Chains A and B, each alone.
Chain A
Amino acid sequence: MVTAVFYVTVVVGVVSAVIAVSHRNPVVNVLSLVVTLFCIAANFALLGAEFLAAAQVLIYAGAILVLFLFVVMLLNAPEVPQAHEPRPFQRGAGVLLAALAAAGGTLIVIRFGAAAPAPAVAGDAHAIGRLLVGPYLFAFELVSVLLLVALVGALVLVKRKH
C-alpha cells in the first residue's frame, strides 16, 4: 500500500515537473508545479514528517505559488519564440549539465547503497515545535527578521517612484 502510493507520487510528480519546466504557458507551469509540490508533500508524509507535509501544502502550494500566479497575471508576458536561437550550443549544454547532475546523484546513491533505516521518529507538530523553541530558538527568531527584511525589500523594489 505504502509502496503503491510512493510509485504513484513519483510518476505524477516527475511528469508534472517536466510539464512545469517545459510548457510554453506560464500559468500551466505554475499549476503543474503545484501538483509536483503536492506529490512531495505526500512523500514527506510517507517519510513520517507530518508537520512538514502540512507546511509544504500551506506554505508552498498555498502561499508561494499563489504569489507566482499573481505575478504571472500581473506581468502577462508570454515567452516569445525568437526567430533564431541566439546561442545554439546553450540548449545542448543545458541538457548535458542536467543529465550530468542526474547521473552523478544516481551514481552516488547506488554506490553508497541502502542500509535499513533507523526506527521511525514521529515528526509531528509537537516534536518539531519542541525543537524549534528549544535548541533552534535563535535561528527561529532570526527567520522572523529575515521574513520582515524580505517583506520590506519586496515593497521597496516594486514601489513606484513619484
Chain B
Amino acid sequence: MPVPTTYFVLFAVALFAIGAAGVLLRRSGISILLGIELMLNAANLALVAFGRQRGSLDTQVFVFFVMAVAAAEVAVGLALLVAIFRARQSIDVDRLNVLRW
C-alpha cells in the first residue's frame, strides 16, 4: 500500500511554511538563505509527488534542474554575504539599510 500523494504534499506544505517563517523572522543573512533552501526543497518534494500522481518522469528532470539552479543561487548568495560582511562587519539584514529611503 503506497503512501497517498496528499500526505507527501502536506509534508511539503509544512516544510514550506517553516522555511517561510524562517525567512520572515530571522535577521541573520545565513538563516534567511537556509530558509530559502528549505522552501526550495519543499517545492521539489511536492513536484516529485505530483509527478508520481501523473506517472510522469518529466517532473523529476525538472527537480534536477531546480537543484542545479539552487546550487548556483547558494554560491552567489553566500559570496554576496561574504562581501557584505567584509564591507559592514555584520550580516544582520536590519543593518543593511544603505539603500533604504
Q: What is A's interface to B at a CB cutoff of 8 Å?
A: 2-3, 6, 10, 13-14, 17-18, 20-22, 26, 29-30, 33, 36-37, 40, 43-44, 46-49, 51-52, 55-56, 59-60, 63-64, 67-68, 71-72, 74-75, 77, 79-80, 82, 86, 90-91, 93-95, 97-99, 101-102, 105-106, 109-110, 113-115, 117-121, 123, 127-128, 131-132, 136, 139, 143, 146-147, 149-151, 153-155, 157-158
CA of A3 to CA of B44, assembled, Å: 20
Q: Which residues of A contact B17 (CB under 8 A)?
A: 98-99, 101-102, 105
Q: Which residues of A contact B83 (CB under 8 A)?
A: 157-158
Q: Which residues of A contact B85 (CB under 8 A)?
A: 75, 77
CA of A46 to CA of B2, assembled, Å: 8
Assess whether A123 is in contact with B76, with CB atoms less than 8 Å apart.
no
Interface readout for B67-87 with A: 1 if CB under 8 Å, 0 if not? 111111111101111110100
Across the two chains, which residue of chain A brings its CB closest to B78?
A: A71
The smallest beta-carbon distance between A4 and chain B, in angstroms, is 10
Across the two chains, which residue of chain B brings its CB closest to A44?
A: B48
The smallest beta-carbon distance between A159 and chain B, in angstroms, is 9
Given known A80-B92, A117-B5, contact A36–B15 (CB-CB < 8 A)? yes
Assess whether B6 is in contact with A72, with CB atoms less than 8 Å apart.
no
Q: Which residues of A contact B21 (CB under 8 A)?
A: 21, 94-95, 98
The smallest beta-carbon distance between B33 and chain A, in angstroms, is 7
Given known A75-B91, A109-B10, A117-B52, contact A131–B57 (CB-CB < 8 A)? yes
